[in-house]
Amino acid sequence: MITVEHLTKCYGDFLAVDDLSFEIDEGHVYGFLGPNGAGKSTTMNIMTGCLSATGGRVRVDGYDVFETPKEAKKRIGYLPEQPPLYLSETPEEYLRFVGQAKGLKGQELEAQIAGVMEQTRIREVRRRPISALSKGYRQRVGIAQALLGDPRVIILDEPTVGLDPIQIIEIRELIRQLGQHHTVILSSHILSEVQAICDKILIINRGKLIAFDTPEGLEKRLLAPSEITLTAEGPEETVRSILGEVAHITSLEVTQAGEARATVRLKTDLEDIYDLSRQLFFAFAGRQVPLLELTLKKTDLEDIFLELTEQPAEETAGAEEKEEEA
């Protein structure tokens, strides 16, 4: 569907995108993640034909974005972080303008306008000025314009930024529905949102692809061992003695200790953290030492993202400036 091969983008001596290669298949919702200044916005702008590359290729459905831009762009609908809306127009007027710019005419134009308004649920506000609409409805108008022309790929850059919780839920559900008929690439800083919506996740840092997998695959393959915190009755020495008999504990830290109880943080290399919690329960029960509390820390996308993208603050600041220029 989309093939990116050895993509490079330089701003003077600064390398924003560094030999980036990946392939997007049809019929999935992809999350596109990276810290500020990682090259994410630059890559998306190149993929949509809005920015030239220093080197490499981007093909959409077999069409090269640089050599056959018209054909490639026909297959992409794009919602930038700041939708280019004309606030004095109504959604209906704005969509008609965008549709005409995409080459739609006559009955086909009107049919597509009606279709995308229905799909994004903006029909009831179609004759109100865009300036009078809420941020949530404005985002819906932006998504509607991306859908005109029936593109096979929809690229959404921070589609829920600035929305309230109810609006975020509504846009999230709309993205899920779009994923049933289009290939969707979603860029977002809300990691829980990406984890909830996306089938696969790309993470880039310093212009390089550092991870590309399902959320579940990333958890298994990339993250440090899962964590358990327990509090048991009895002195630290007794608790340590019991834990010494339990297999697959890779690290042990006593966070609180006294004569009456001890609290310990554990890490394990077991894929199923419940296997360790089961062993702990029976180990303490076998020694007749009460377990007062046992808490599992299950990994999530935020942990993975932080582990993969940590970098010095001064490097991040310089990269952010170049990303903003893009």
- Listing DSSP states for 144-179 in one string gives HHHHTT--SEEEEESTTTT--HHHHHHHHHHHHHHT
- What CA–CA distance (Å, rounded) separates 175 from 157? 12
- Alpha-carbon distance values, 118 to 122, 126, 140, 144, 206 (Å): 7, 10, 11, 9, 40
Name residues whose C-beta falls within 8 Å of residue 234's C-beta, 6 or more positions apart in sequence. 260, 261, 262, 289
d(CA 253, CA 261): 14
The architecture in CATH of the region 2-220+312-325 reads: 3-Layer(aba) Sandwich (3.40)
Tell me, what's the pLDDT at 164? 87
Is residue 224 predicted with pLDDT exceeding 60?
A: no
Calpha distance 110→127 (Å, rounded): 15
pLDDT surpassing 60 at residue 268? yes
pLDDT higher than threshold 60 for residue 325: no
Average pLDDT over residues 2-9: 96
Closest by CA position to 48, among listed 80, 1, 23, 25: 80
The tokens for 43 are 């890559």
Of residues 249 and 312, more confidence is placed in 249
Coil vs helix vs strand at 305 = helix
Q: CATH 3.40.50.300: which residues of the chain?
A: 2-220+312-325
Sign of the four-CA dihedral 109, 112, 113, 114: positive
Task: Give the pLDDT score at 267.
Answer: 87
Mean pLDDT to the nearest integer, 184-205: 88
User: What is the three-class DSSP state of 269?
Assistant: coil
C-alpha span between 11 and 33 (Å, rounded)? 21
Does the domain at residues 224-298 carry the CATH identifier 3.30.70.260? yes
Can you give the pLDDT at residue 273?
82
Q: Which of 8-12, 20-24, 129-133, 218-222 has the lowest mean pLDDT?
A: 218-222
Give the mean pLDDT of 223-232: 78
More confident residue, 283 or 322: 283
> By the 8 A CB rule, do 318 and 36 touch?
no
Helix (H, G, I), strand (E, B) or coil at 125: helix
How far apart CA 186 and CA 156 sit, in angstroms, is 5
pLDDT bracket for residue 316 (50, 70, 90): very low
Could you tell me if 301 and 218 are in contact, meaning their C-beta atoms sit under 8 angstroms apart? yes
pLDDT at 324: 53
* All CATH 3.30.70.260 domain ranges in the chain, comma separated: 224-298
